[in-house]
Amino acid sequence: MAHRVTGVLIFFFLFVHVLDTALVRVSPQDYDKVVATYKTPLVALLEYGLVAAVLFHALNGLRVIAVDFWSKGPRFQKQMLWTVVGIWVVLMIGALYPVLGHAAREVFGS
């Protein structure tokens, strides 16, 4: 279920990203205004959520491939899921500062 949800969220992001990037051809000034609205702490939190969705979707996708193509995959589904979750948590902790560091400096000062 989480794999489907993250897939839909990533699709929605890509759809919006293509639309706002296409805006640069129509009106560069409006594009600059849109990009300026993205430089807020709230959007930084959304970016962290995007990183979370992409990482989980990618790692879980590898697990799904292993279950489908490895003869012992179905037997180790649960262990592989917990491995994916563990790796995901470690990577998300590692992404805290790079993704949210600017937002923290913006809110709390540098």
User: Sorting pLDDT into bands at 50, 70 and 90, what band is 109?
Assistant: confident
Contact assessment for residue 57 and residue 3, using Cβ atoms and an 8 Å cutoff: yes
Write the DSSP string, 85-104: HHHHHHHHHHHHHHHHHHHH
Query: Quick one: fold of 2-108?
Result: 3 helical TM bundles of succinate and fumarate reductases (1.20.1300)
Task: Determine the pLDDT at residue 38.
Answer: 87
* pLDDT of the residue at 94: 95
- Residues making up the binding site for heme: 57
Q: List pLDDT tens digits, range 64-86.
A: 999 999 999 899 999 999 999 99
pTM of the prediction? 0.84
Question: Where does the pLDDT of residue 107 fall: very low under 50, low under 70, confident under 90, or very high at 90 and above?
Answer: confident
Does the pLDDT at position 105 exceed 90? Answer: no
Annotated binding site: 57
